[in-house]
Structure 1
């Protein structure tokens, strides 16, 4: 009877170990879950980036106005016979008390 109890205990221990750390066990499940979360967040970032690029391509296909706007803002281009003025706003400073 003692041998039977020892064998049964050994089988339960092996099965418990397999459930926790064996193939398709709890440890592997947690690791796969973490990898899935990382891949999902990376995919989300790439989808937002792709959407922004698609929007910009759509704008560029619409006409020269967008191209001109990009050239002016990113490259600082000025048309011929055009004068460039830079407006610097005043900072709000408290006026001195009289």
Structure 2
């Protein structure tokens, strides 16, 4: 069965269109591989955002404690600066080095 020249041209154009669409589907921007990589990137960024949101929440709580009371300030002064209250005695217990 022989096709007419007009049908051959239409068939060739359809084949080229099909190949072009398949190439876009598998390669380049918007391809399946590209979409998969973007989905992975989105998941990683969501995880990172969740960690940063938790960190921000903890820092906001620390700021609130520092603004509202002296207990947090005292804790930081004792822990980070080694300060003690008036009338307190500081004992530093040294452990013997292990041989």
The TM-score with structure 2 as length reference comes to 0.69
Give me the whole-angstrom Cα distance separating, in 2, the residues matched to 1:19 and 1:4. 24
Shift of 1:86: 4.4
Which residue among 30, 34, 43 is the counterpart of 1:37?
A: 43
**Structure 1 counterpart SS, 2:87:** coil
Q: RMSD in angstroms over aligned alpha carbons?
A: 2.7
- 1:61 corresponding residue in structure 2: 67
Q: Does residue 81 in structure 1 map to residue 96 in structure 2?
A: no
Gaps of 5+ in 2: 95-99
* 1:47 and 2:32 aligned: no
Deviations 1:19-73 (A, max 9, x none): 1224422122112112212211221121111011011011112211221111112
For structure 1, which runs of at least 5 residues remain unmatched after alignment? 89-98
- For residues 39 and 25 of structure 2, the distance between their equivalents in structure 1, rounded to whole angstroms, comes to 17
* Matched residue count: 89
